[in-house]
């Protein structure tokens, strides 16, 4: 049994990761915002010292409407406070980053793609990834950064795209949709969790390794709606162009997951059709 610390344990991916680690028999300290406000200096360090983890998984993240200074503390500088507070016998610290840390690219994004974030959130996440890697290196602590693409699954926030699509299928309400051609690489939450577990267990993985966690398949928003119609057997009414999208949306956004395959033996196990079916059956 391993003592594991998970920050962001109350979040979407964090809840799934905590459940997986506990099912695997690990002793987990699940840190939520109620336990430690990462925007307040000292609170995270104290919680880490109490937990004395052998592995640390840093999933905490903050978005608007959280004020930008607080979001920057959570997404970036909390990584340094975490690393500095880890005990000497901690074996590895993992950071769950974001594909928004990368520059937009018409080709599949691999780990050599430049960091040129497409917004404040991506910039803060990129800074946090770099800070965690550098701080861990100074301590001689193995670090891993996983950059996840568009994660979906049961328990996601209601306002996110997949829950909104399935809610429209269930209720018949009209779904505001972006203009056509905006694509994302949708990756099942359980597959992201599996990559996290494999990365912390891969003792031979060189410190400072960065790996993309995506499927290598991109799907336009309108294509996902059509797939959801087939999965649910329901017609989904849409209003194309009624949703403004996000300023960093792009026509091409897809990972090259080959490095994670080579380093971890990791493959996405759940394709989008199966994932949507599981979400529908879960009422998500």
CATH code for the domain in which residue 208 is found: 3.40.50.720
What would the pLDDT profile of 255-275 be if each residue is shown by its tens digit? 999 999 999 999 999 999 999
Q: Identify whether 263 is part of a domain.
A: no
Same domain, 56 and 158: no
Domain interval for residue 52: 3-149+189-213
Same domain, 56 and 127: yes
Q: Write down the pLDDT at residue 248.
A: 74
Q: Identify whether 259 is part of a domain.
A: no
Q: Identify whether 194 is part of a domain.
A: yes
Average pLDDT over residues 275-281: 98
Q: What are phi and psi of 62, to 5 degrees?
A: -140, 140
Same domain, 144 and 62: yes
Q: Write down the pLDDT at residue 114.
A: 95
Q: Distance (Å, rounded) from C-alpha 48 to C-alpha 101?
A: 26
Q: Write down the pLDDT at residue 155.
A: 95
Q: Write down the pLDDT at residue 245.
A: 81
Same domain, 82 and 124: yes
Same domain, 209 and 221: no
What would the pLDDT profile of 138-174 be if each residue is shown by its tens digit? 999 999 999 999 999 999 999 999 999 999 999 999 9
Q: Write down the pLDDT at residue 250.
A: 86
Same domain, 206 and 228: no
Q: Write down the pLDDT at residue 224.
A: 98
Q: Identify whether 52 is part of a domain.
A: yes
Average pLDDT, the chain: 96
What would the pLDDT profile of 59-92 be if each residue is shown by its tens digit? 999 998 999 999 999 999 999 999 999 999 999 9
Same domain, 46 and 175: no
Q: Write down the pLDDT at residue 161.
A: 96
Tallying the residues shown for the chain, one arrives at 284
Q: Write down the pLDDT at residue 88.
A: 97
Same domain, 156 and 195: no
pLDDT at 247 over 90: no
**240: CATH:** 3.90.25.10
Q: Write down the pLDDT at residue 177.
A: 95
pLDDT at 56 over 90: yes
Q: Identify whether 209 is part of a domain.
A: yes
The total number of structural domains that make up the chain: 2
DSSP string, the chain: --EEEEETTTSHHHHHHHHHHHHTT-EEEEE-TTT--TTSTTHHHHHHHHH--SEEEE-----TTS-HHHHHIIIIIHHHHHHHHS-TT--EEEEEEEGGGBPP-SSPB-TTS-B--SSHHHHHHHHHHHHHHHHHHHHT-EEEEEEE-EEE-TT--TTSHHHHHHHHHHH---EEEPPTT-EE-EEEHHHHHHHHHHHHH-TTSPTTEEEEE--S--EEHHHHHHHHHHHHT----EEET-S---TT--S---B-THHHHHHH-----S-HHHHHHHHHHTT-
What would the pLDDT profile of 3-34 be if each residue is shown by its tens digit? 999 999 999 999 999 999 999 999 999 999 99
Q: Write down the pLDDT at residue 118.
A: 81
pLDDT at 37 over 80: yes
Same domain, 113 and 160: no
Same domain, 178 and 44: no
Same domain, 12 and 108: yes
Q: Distance (Å, rounded) from C-alpha 245 to C-alpha 72?
A: 23
What would the pLDDT profile of 82-130 be if each residue is shown by its tens digit? 999 999 999 999 999 999 999 999 999 999 999 999 899 999 999 999 9
Same domain, 167 and 114: no
Q: Identify whether 202 is part of a domain.
A: yes
């Amino acid at each position: 049994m391993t003592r594991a610390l998970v920050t962001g344990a109350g979040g979407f991916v964090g809840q799934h990761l905590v459940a997986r680690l506990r099912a695997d028999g690990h002793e987990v300290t699940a840190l939520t915002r109620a336990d430690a406000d990462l925007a307040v200096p000292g609170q995270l360090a104290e919680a880490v010292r109490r937990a004395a983890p052998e592995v640390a998984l840093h999933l905490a993240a903050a978005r608007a409407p959280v004020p930008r200074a607080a979001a920057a503390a959570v997404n970036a500088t909390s990584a340094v406070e975490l690393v500095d507070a880890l005990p000497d016998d901690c074996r590895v610290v993992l950071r769950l980053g974001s594909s928004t840390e990368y520059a937009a690219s018409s080709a599949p994004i691999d780990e050599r793609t430049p960091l040129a974030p497409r917004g404040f959130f991506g910039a803060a996440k990129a800074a946090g990834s770099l800070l965690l890697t550098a701080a861990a290196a100074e301590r001689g602590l193995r670090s891993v950064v996983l950059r996840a693409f568009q994660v979906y699954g049961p328990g996601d926030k209601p306002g996110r795209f997949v829950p909104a699509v399935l809610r429209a299928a269930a209720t018949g309400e009209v779904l505001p949709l972006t203009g056509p051609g905006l694509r994302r690489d949708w990756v099942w939450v359980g597959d992201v969790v599996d990559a996290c577990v494999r990365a912390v267990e891969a003792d031979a993985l060189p410190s400072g390794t960065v790996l993309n966690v995506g499927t290598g398949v991109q799907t336009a928003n309108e294509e996902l709606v059509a797939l959801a119609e087939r999965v649910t057997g329901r017609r989904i009414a849409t209003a194309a162009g009624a949703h403004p999208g996000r300023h960093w949306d792009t026509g091409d956004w897809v990972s090259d997951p080959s490095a994670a395959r080579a380093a971890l033996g990791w493959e996405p196990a759940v394709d989008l059709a199966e994932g949507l079916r599981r979400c529908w059956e879960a009422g998500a």
